[in-house]
Amino acid sequence: MKRPILLINTNVARPPVSPVGLEYVAEALVEAGVSVAVLDFSFEPDWKASLRRQLRSDVPLAVGLSVRNTDDCSFVSRKSFLPWIADVVAEVKKLTEAPVYLGGVGFSTMPEVVLAATGADGGIEGDGEEALLALTNSLRKGEDVTQLPNMVYRSSGHVVRSPRVDVDLRRLPKPRRRLFDNRRYEQLGAMVGIETKRGCSQGCIFCADPVAKGRTLRLRPPHIVVQELQDLAEQGISWLHLCDSEYNLPPEHAKDVCRAVIQQGLGNRIRWYCYCSPVPFDGELANLMKAAGCAGINFGVDSLCDEQLYRLGRVHSSDDVGQMVRLLRREGLNYMCDLLIGGPGETPETVRTTVDKARELDIPLVGIAVGVRVYPYTTLGNAVATRSIKDGLYPETNEGIHQPIFYLSPMLGESAPDLIDQLVADDPRFLVLSKPAERGSYNYADDERLCQLIEQGARGAYWDIIRRSHEFGLVQS
Ligand code: B12
C-alpha cells in the first residue's frame, strides 16, 4: 500500500465555508490514482486528537494544509489566522516526519509571508490540481521538488518561488464532490462553493485576486459546471456560492452558464449567490441569472465618487452604478453593494459623496470596509514596498510577520470609523466591516450572531441573512 497524501482543511471559522479548493485538489489526486486521506478540522472538536488518530493509522508521504484566509481582512479587528496555522504545522511536525506543504487562496496571496510565519516546509501557490500531483510523484521517486512549477520553498534562509503554471480548466474532468461532507456543511448554514472560471484581469490597485488566481480568465465549459451542479443537487445540496472573482466577467460566459443551468432544469432546484462587477451588467444577464436560480448578488462597487473610483483602478463610474441599480430594481433581483473606504486620495468629501449617493440611489444594503488591506504584488502593495507610499500604514508598530497591514488615507486618518458612523448614522441599510458580531458588522469570520440566526433556520448568503434579520427581525429564507 502506497503512503497516502494527508490533506487537512484548517478553516474552522464559523459560520463555515465548504473547502471547495481542497476538495478539487484532493479529487484530482484520487482521479490520478493517488491514495488520499482527508481530515476536516471544521468538524473535529478535538483537532489534536483527530490528528493523532490519523497519523497513528497511516504514515503519510506528505501533509497538505489548506490556508484559505490569512486574516479576516478587517481594519478594525485585524485578526490573523497565521498563528493558528503555525500551531497546526507544529503539531503535525511533532507527530510525523513527513514534509508539510501549504496551499490555498490565502497562501497564494502572500506565499513568502505565510511560509515564514508558519514554519511549513513549503507550499504550492495558485492552482493545486496538477502541481500537487507533480509534487506527489516527485516525492515518491525521491526527486528534487524545487524544480516543479508553482513550488514555494526555503533555500539558504530565503523563500524561493518557482515559475507558476496555471491549469487549463478545460482539461479537468468534472469533480465528483464527494470527498468532503458538503451536505453537513449546508446543514450548518454554509453555501457550497463552485467555480465557473478562475482568474481576474481587472486592474483594481488593492485586490489580491489577480495575484492569487492569475490575471488571465480561464473559463470552465458550461456543460461541466452544470454537471457538477446537477451532481451536487442530487446529493441534496441546494444553497451555493459561486467562487469566481466576478461572475459577470466575461458576460457571455456568465450568460452561457445560466442558459445551461436553465436547460438542465436546475433553475428552481438550486439557489446561488455570487460576486459581480457593476459593469457590464444588462437586462438579459439579469433575467438569465434569475431564471437560473440566482438568489442574490454582491457587487464590488468600492466608491460612488468618480475620482476615487479612478484612483482605485476601477473601470465603472457612479452613473454606471446608478443604471445598474435601476435595472436590478426593475428586474427584482436581490443584491448588495460593497464599498471600500480609505484608499489613496480618499478625503472626508469623497466619503461623503459616496455615502450620499448610496442613499440617493436607495441601495437596499451597503457593506462598508474602512481601511484597505495591503497585499504584496498588488499596485498598492508595490507602492508600499518601494516606499512611494510611506504614510497611512497600520499597524504603525511592528507586531510580527503575521500581522495584516492596512492602508488608510492620511486625509481621513484614524477618525475614519467615526466619520462613517456619523455619515451612516443608524441607517440599517449600511453595514460596516468591523469585529464579528459587533452591531451592524458583516465580518463573517466567527460571527456568533450569524451562527445563531443560522441555527434558527436562516439560510443564504451571510449578508442576505443579516439583511433579513434587520428588515424583519426574523430568519425566513
Ligand atoms: C466565494 C468567497 C467567499 C464566500 C464563500 C462562499 C463559499 N461557500 O465558498 C463568502 C462570502 C462566505 C466568503 C467569506 C469570507 N471571505 Co472570501 N472569498 C471568496 C472567493 C471569491 C472564492 C474562494 C474560493 O473558494 N475559491 C475557489 C477555490 C477552488 O479556489 P482555492 O480555494 O484558491 O483553491 C485552489 C488553490 O488555492 C489550491 N489549493 C486550495 N487548497 C489547497 C491545499 C493544498 C495543500 C494545496 C497544495 C493547494 C490548495 O488548489 C485549489 C484548486 O486549484 C475568494 C477570492 C477568490 N477569487 O478566490 C475570497 C477570499 C478567499 N475571501 C477572503 C476573506 C478575507 C473572507 C472572509 C474572512 C471575510 C470576512 N471577514 O468575513 C470570510 C471568511 C469566511 C470563512 N469561514 O472562511 C479573502 C482571503 C484573503 C486572505 N489573504 O486571507 C479572499 C481571497 C478575497 C480577497 N481577495 O480578499 N468568501
Q: Is 166 among the domain residues?
A: no
Q: Which atom of ligand 1 has the smallest separation from the CA of 69? A: 84
Strand, helix or coil for residue 303: coil
Last residue of a domain, one of 270, 294, 318: 294
- Pair 350, 411: CB distance under 8 Å: no
Q: Sign of the C-alpha dihedral, residues 19, 290, 354, 323?
A: positive
Domain boundary among 145, 161, 177: 161
Is residue 240 within 8 A of residue 194, CB to CB? The reply is yes
- Judged against a pLDDT cut of 60, whether residue 278 lies above it is answered with yes
What is the per-residue pLDDT for 295?
Answer: 98
User: Distance, CA 308 to ligand 1 centroid (Å)?
Assistant: 27
Which pLDDT does position 473 carry in this prediction?
Answer: 63
- Distance of CA 18 from the midpoint of ligand 1 (Å): 10
What value does the mean pLDDT take over residues 220-247?
Answer: 98
Distance CA 92, CA 77 (A): 29
What is the amino acid identity at position 187? Answer: Q
Q: What is the 426 CA–ligand 1 centroid distance (Å)?
A: 31
> pLDDT digit string (tens) for 153-166?
999 989 999 999 99
Same domain, 203 and 264: yes
Q: How far is CA 324 from CA 72, 259, 335, in A?
A: 29, 21, 11
Q: What is the pLDDT of residue 1?
A: 63
CA of 400 to the centre of ligand 1 (A): 23
Backbone φ, ψ for residue 432 (5° rounding): -125, 135
**Tens digit of pLDDT for each residue in 65-108?**
999 999 999 999 999 999 999 999 999 999 999 999 999 999 99
Residues 105 and 56 in one domain: yes
Q: Given this model, what pLDDT does residue 414 score? A: 83
Do 107 and 150 fall within a single domain?
Answer: yes
Task: Provide mean pLDDT across the span 397-413.
Answer: 92
- Which range has the top average pLDDT, 256-270, 395-409, 414-428? 256-270
* Grid coordinates belonging to 41: 478540522
**For a pocket test of ligand 1, which of 76, 85, 105, 463 has the largest count of ligand atoms closer than 8 A to its C-beta?**
105
307-327: per-residue pLDDT in tens? 999 999 999 999 999 999 999
Counting from 1 in the atom list of ligand 1, the atom nearest the Cα of 190 is 8
* Mean pLDDT, rounded, for 351-365: 98
Strand 366-370 to 430-432 pairing: parallel
CATH number at residue 333: 3.30.750
| Ligand 1 atom with least separation from CA of 127 | 53
Q: What is the mean pLDDT of residues 393-414?
A: 92
Which atom of ligand 1 has the smallest separation from the CA of 375? 83
Residue 388, domain member (yes or no):
no
* Nearest atom, ligand 1, residue 18 CA: 8
Residue 64 has φ and ψ, to the nearest 5°, of -110, 130
Residue predicted with more confidence, 344 or 472 = 344
Residue 197 to residue 192: CA distance in whole angstroms? 16
Q: Report which protein residue has its CA nearest ligand 1's atom 50.
A: 128
Query: CATH number of the domain that 34 lies in?
Result: 3.40.50.2300
The ligand 1 atom at the shortest distance from the C-alpha of residue 167 is 53
Q: φ and ψ at 385, to 5 degrees?
A: -65, -35
Does the residue 94 lie in any domain? yes
Q: Per-residue pLDDT tens for 437-456?
A: 888 889 999 999 999 999 99
Q: Mutate which of 68, 100, 169, 215 to test ligand 1's pocket (most atoms within 8 Å of Cβ)?
A: 68
**pLDDT over 70 percentage in the chain:** 99
- Partners of residue 115 on adjacent β-strands: none
Q: Which atom of ligand 1 is nearest to the CA of 132?
A: 47
**439 Cα: distance to centroid of ligand 1 (angstroms):** 25
Domain membership of residue 172 (yes or no) is no
Asked if residue 126 has pLDDT above 90, the reply is yes
- The binding-site residues of ligand 1, defined as CB within 6 angstroms of any ligand atom, are 7, 11, 13, 16-18, 20-22, 24-25, 64-66, 68-74, 101, 103-106, 108-109, 124, 127-129, 132, 190-193, 195, 207-209, 213, 241, 243, 245, 275, 443-445, 462
Residue 460, domain member (yes or no): yes
Closest CA to 327 of 355, 285, 293, 273: 285
pLDDT at 176 over 90: yes
66 within domain boundaries: yes
Ligand 1 probe mutation, 17, 114, 209, 239, most atoms within 8 A of CB: 17
Beta strands 406-407; 372-373: pairing state: antiparallel
User: Are 272 and 333 within one domain?
Assistant: no
First-to-last CA distance in the chain? 48
Measured in angstroms, how far is the CA atom of residue 243 from the centroid of ligand 1?
A: 8
Q: How remote is the CA of residue 159 from the centroid of ligand 1, in Å? A: 23
| C-alpha 245 – ligand 1 centre gap (Å) | 10
Place of cell 478553516: 11
Average pLDDT over residues 282-295: 98
User: Phi, psi (5° rounding) for residue 443?
Assistant: -85, 110
Residues 276 and 336 in one domain: no
% the chain with pLDDT above 90: 92
> Of the residues 267, 294, 321, which one is the last residue of a structural domain?
294
Q: Whose CA is nearest to atom 17 of ligand 1?
A: 69
Does 149 share its domain with 204? no
- Cβ–Cβ under 8 Å, residues 48 and 92: no
Q: The domain containing residue 353 runs over which residues?
A: 303-371+408-477
d(CA 125, CA 143): 20
**Residues 280 and 324 grouped into a single domain:** no
**CATH number assigned to the domain comprising residue 246:** 3.30.750.210
Measured in angstroms, how far is the CA atom of residue 462 from the centroid of ligand 1?
Answer: 15
Mean pLDDT of the chain: 96
Q: How far is the CA of 25 from the centre of ligand 1 (A)?
A: 14
Q: 157 and 247: one domain?
A: no
Hunting for cell 466591516 — which residue is that? 433
CA of 169 to the centre of ligand 1 (A): 18
Tell me how many domains the chain contains: 3
| Helix axis angle, 348-361 to 318-331, nearest 10° | 20
Local structure of residue 134 (DSSP, 8 states): H
pLDDT for 109 beyond 90: yes
State which ligand 1 atom lies nearest to the alpha carbon of 15. Answer: 77
Question: Of 151, 147, 148, 81, which is closest to residue 121 (Cα–Cα)?
Answer: 151
pLDDT at 436 (0 to 100)? 85
Are 46 and 106 in a shared domain?
A: yes
Could you give phi then psi for residue 370, rounded to 5 degrees?
Answer: -105, 125
Q: If pLDDT is split at 50, 70 and 90, which confidence band does 58 have?
A: confident
What's the CA-to-centroid distance between 357 and ligand 1, angstroms?
A: 30
